[in-house]
Amino acid sequence: MSKNRRFVLVTGGAGYIGSVLVPVLLGRGYKVRVFDKLVFGYDGLTGLAGHLEIVQGDVCAFDEGVLDDVDKVIHLAALSNDPTADFNPEANRLINVEGTRNVASACVRRGVDRFVYASSCSIYYSLNPYDGMLHEDSEISPTAPYSLSKKLAEGLLREMASPSFCPVALRKGTVFGASPRMRYDLVVNAFARDAWQKGRLTVNAGGEMWRPLLAIEDAAEAYVNALELPDDVVRGRAFNVLHKNYRVLELAHWTKHVLRDRKKIEVDVRYEDGVPPRSYQVSGARFREVFGYGPPRGISQALLKLWERFEQGVATDFGNPEYYNVEWFKLLSSMQGKLAKMGAVLPQAEIGTTCEGQRPGAGHVTRFHR
């Protein structure tokens, strides 16, 4: 539990992980302020009305006044996967690197001491599935836009580290599981969707690729714990956070096994030639040593929970582009120019009012609770 009543700022806190993390922070006694562009809205946080603050804004134009009464930051805001980064590499650089610099620099100026950064095991991006086990001190030279942006952001944070500024990077495995802001562009969630929809899982390139996996609940707990460890054991360091490494083919067959009593599921394995898929197998030993535990949750519980949600009709409109980051950004980008020329789609007296009758804008605080 927090030892004081100052805020934790969670950038990107209305997103897939943030919507699970924020309730955990509140449950541990923290006051929470969310800073988010709200590209996906804030439906994932509506059940918390009365318990947090939301600030709508952009990390590329970060107003450090958002840090008033804040002493810890969890920085999730980013373009968060390879397809989205590949769609617009320059936007990816501006958000993931320069946006991180903006927020961290403001923290240094404001005396915010703990900065927990959402990095990724994608930083180990490799086209060779036989590279072997990688750890935080392994030599890495990512060239893909997303992976490179995570490396560059980690580097600038290490350079900024000081006795009064303690950045720590969590290199998460591929996250899976249910969230109020759902995603189906993540491998376990996609397999659950395809098992429900089609009864058939398709595995490309023989399924030889390695993936480190992490339950969304374990990701949330790791972020909270990273706020609370002593400065001298985490300052300027990166930690791989994962439950287990899986080959994708193994993951498909395990999904079939877990759901065997729910539906007959077939696994189709394709071996076609082409660009080798990304692969990485990483060690979580440093995290276990310093944090004192290993993320415990495997995929079985998450698959069964997703299946239960499907049976209840929750987030089963699988064609909705909001569940797929790159598809949502493509749609919004396509509409942006059209709307700029056209103006409002329909005439209205007020557009975009909040629950308090105010229009959120960059730096505007929507106070659900104070």
Count of residues making up the chain: 370
Per-residue pLDDT at 360 exceeds 50: no
pLDDT for 346 equals 79
- Residues 177, 187: Cα–Cα separation, whole Å: 10
Question: Which helix (H) or strand (E) covers residue 225, if one does?
Answer: helix 216-228
pLDDT for 278 equals 80
pLDDT for 61 equals 95
Strand 53-56 and strand 364-367: the pairing is: antiparallel
More confident residue, 16 or 273: 16
| Strand order through the sheet with 237-241 | 237-241, 166-172, 114-120, 70-75, 7-11, 31-36, 53-56, 364-367
Q: To the nearest whole percent, how much of the chain has pLDDT over 70?
A: 90
pLDDT for 358 equals 35
pLDDT tens column, 235-279: 999 999 999 999 999 999 999 999 999 999 999 999 876 656 788
pLDDT tens column, 157-192: 999 999 999 999 999 999 999 999 999 999 999 999
Number of neighbours of residue 8 by Cβ within 10 angstroms: 27
Per-residue pLDDT at 324 exceeds 60: yes
The pLDDT-based confidence of 1 (bands split at 50, 70, 90) is: very low
For residues 342-361, average pLDDT: 55
Per-residue pLDDT at 348 exceeds 70: no
Residue 68 CA, chain-centre distance (Å), reads: 25
Strand pairing partners for 36? 56
Q: 11 near 59, Cβ under 8 Å? A: yes
Per-residue pLDDT at 369 exceeds 60: no
- Residues 118, 220: Cα–Cα separation, whole Å: 11
For residues 339-358, average pLDDT: 61
Whether pTM exceeds 0.85: yes
**Got the DSSP string for 3-50?**
SS-PEEEEETTTSTTHHHHHHHHHHTT-EEEEEE--TT-SGGGGGGTT
3-state SS class at 324: coil
- CB neighbour class for 261 (10 Å; exposed up to 12, middle 13-18, buried from 19): exposed
- Residues 185, 149: Cα–Cα separation, whole Å: 20
The pLDDT-based confidence of 349 (bands split at 50, 70, 90) is: low
- Classify residue 28 as left (phi > 0), alpha (psi -120 to 50) or beta: alpha
Per-residue pLDDT at 357 exceeds 50: no
- Residues 116, 288: Cα–Cα separation, whole Å: 17
For residues 347-361, average pLDDT: 46
Domains of the chain: 7-325 (3.40.50.720)
More confident residue, 46 or 23: 23
pLDDT tens column, 126-149: 656 566 899 999 988 888 999 999
**Averaged pLDDT of the chain:** 90
Q: 70 near 110, Cβ under 8 Å? A: yes
pLDDT for 299 equals 97
Task: Give the residue carrying structure tokens 């480190």.
Answer: 212
More confident residue, 86 or 76: 76
pLDDT for 347 equals 76
pLDDT for 338 equals 84
DSSP state of 275: S
- Residues 17, 19: Cα–Cα separation, whole Å: 5
Number of neighbours of residue 184 by Cβ within 10 angstroms: 18
Q: 20 near 220, Cβ under 8 Å? A: yes
pLDDT for 356 equals 38
pLDDT for 276 equals 64
Q: 19 near 179, Cβ under 8 Å? A: yes
For residues 343-369, average pLDDT: 51
More confident residue, 1 or 34: 34
